[in-house]
Each structure stands twice: as C-alpha cells, then as structure tokens.
Amino acid sequence: MKYTKYFTILIIFSCLFSQGERSTIYYNGNPVGIETGNLVYKTDSLDMRFSNIFTVNHDYILERFSFYLGFESFPDSIIIQLQQDDNQSPGEVIDEWNIVMDENYPHGSGYNIYTLTECIQLDENSSYWVTLLSRGDGVLKWIHTDESWPNVMTLNGGENWSNIQTSPPGANIVYGEQIYYQDPIWGDVNEDLITNVIDVLIVVQHILDVIELTPNQFFIADLNQDENINVIDVLGIVNIILSNEPLMSQWLLEDINDNSISFGEMIGPEVYNGNISLYYFGKAG
C-alpha cells in the first residue's frame, strides 16, 4: 500500500531536486536522415498528426522528451502533446508544450523539451502517447528511425486515429525520474519520524474512542496489518521503542579550537548528554 504522506514527499523531492534515478523510459532507434519522416502540418482540409505509444514499468516523474526534427517548409507552431491511452489510441491530453524550431536546420536537428517543473507522474504499467501536431504554417518532418515501433496517425486532428502499425516511427526518446517509496516508520503515528511513548498514547486514545486516526496513521499503527488496531499493536509499538538503536552515535574527539572553553579536552555527544538539545561539531569558516 502506498500511503499519502511518503508518496507526496518523494514526488516533491524528485520534481524539485531531481534526485531520483534518471531512466530512459522509451527509445525508438536512431534517426535515418531527412529522406523519410512523418509529415506534420495543418491546412483548411487536413490536420496531420503522428503519435508514438510507450508503456512504463515503474512509477516515474516525467523529465524530458527528445526528438529529431526537420522540415520541408519552416513550421512556426509545432506542439507536443502527452496523452492518456484510450483503447490503443491517443486519448485525453495530459499536457502540451511548444517546440521552438531552428530555421537554420531544415535537414534535421535534435530538440529537447524539459518537463520536471510540471511534476507529471507516469503510473506503473500504464501506456501514454507522444503526439506532434501543427497549429500554424509550414510542414514539419518528424524524421524516421532505423527501428520499427508501434505508432498511429490522424488526418483530422485526432477525431479519428489509424489502427496501430509497427513501422519506423518519428525519432523520439522519453526520460523520467523513477519514484522510490520510503518504507513506513512503523508505530510513528504522529509522523514525527520517531516511534516513542507519544505514539503509544495516541494509539491507546484511538482504541478508547477518544480520537480517530487518519488513514495514514491507522496504516502505520496497524503493525500486524489485520485492519484492526488493538492491544497487540500497542505491545508491538512498545517493542519497537525498546529495541530502537540510539539516535546519536557515540564518539570522542579532541577539541582543537583554542577559543573554546573545552580546548584540549576530549568531547563528543556523551559529554553534553542532557545539557543541550542541539549541537554542532566542526569547523566554522
């Protein structure tokens, strides 16, 4: 079970600081050159779009799209859309981005679209579509790859899509940051990252119907996962408290700061135990 607190923390951490494991989610081969490609354009009668499907095998935060694109006539408004899968066709649009084309490279160039700031989650065992479309003038050429992958096309702006065909698609890579879910701190009912007597008191109050636990709290307090919180869980939390390792390792080092009142003495956590709540050992400046 993935419960909200830890799920949210790790999502934010991955999006803002990019600390997850960066992975290539989808890579459909190397571009073969300007000779062949999917033509993306819009006229009064046609709205040509092409889309590649990919499936993820973990939960990810979407990081980046890469494309290899050229053009027959300069396209001034090319859009990438990420879409849900709707029965093996592109469905609801999740988000879209503008691709700024470089008119100096009609015969092909690489383009990257970065997406971490949007914090879009791709769910495990789900499929998604990457679609290129035009909202302006010009004709884009989405350069084909040297491999064959599932893809579809539409002539009418997505009202109807072709059946999936496995053929050389437009060159495309999708990158993501894999999401890792922190193991629960069992018994930490008040979610202060430590299991102690306060958590025992909260669970007892819940058993006596004095307070009601949130779904997250209930999950963390239900140590034997029998969907019932009782004295067995209380005893389990007490055992966790009794078996916890000390939070602070013990050590002694000589104080070499000649401005310190303990200069020349061996100092460490045990020297200050019970006297202060927070301290720093190290060099300042």
Domain boundaries of the chain, sorted by first residue: 4-178, 197-243, 245-285
Q: How far apart are alpha carbons 262 and 254 in whole angstroms? A: 9
pLDDT tens by residue, 29-86: 999 988 899 999 999 999 999 999 999 999 999 999 999 999 999 999 999 999 999 9
Q: How far apart are alpha carbons 38 and 49 in whole angstroms? A: 8
186 burial type by CB count under 10 A (0-12 exposed, 13-18 middle, 19+ buried): middle
Residue 194: per-residue pLDDT: 86
Low-confidence ranges of the chain (pLDDT < 50): 1-14, 16-19, 279, 285
Q: Are 83 and 90 spatial neighbours (Cβ–Cβ below 8 Å)?
A: yes
Q: Are 39 and 50 spatial neighbours (Cβ–Cβ below 8 Å)?
A: no
Residue 275: per-residue pLDDT: 67
Residue 251: per-residue pLDDT: 73
Residue 254: per-residue pLDDT: 82
Residue 245: per-residue pLDDT: 59
Q: How far apart are alpha carbons 37 and 70 in whole angstroms? A: 9
Q: Nearest-5° angle of CA 200, CA 204, CA 205? A: 120
87 Rama sector, left if φ>0, alpha if ψ -120 to 50, beta otherwise: left
- Provide the residue type at 80 as one letter: I
CATH of 4-178, one of 2.30.40, 2.60.40, 2.60.120, 3.40.50: 2.60.120
Residue 226: per-residue pLDDT: 92
Joined together, the tokens standing for residue 130 give 């990457």
Q: How far apart are alpha carbons 31 and 37 in whole angstroms? A: 9
Joined together, the tokens standing for residue 135 give 């909202």
Q: How far apart are alpha carbons 60 and 67 in whole angstroms? A: 20
Q: How far apart are alpha carbons 39 and 162 in whole angstroms? A: 15
Distances 20 to 17, 101, 124, 147 between C-alpha atoms, Å: 9, 30, 15, 29
Residue 2: per-residue pLDDT: 41
- What does the chain come to in residues? 285
Q: Which helix (H) or strand (E) holds 246?
A: none
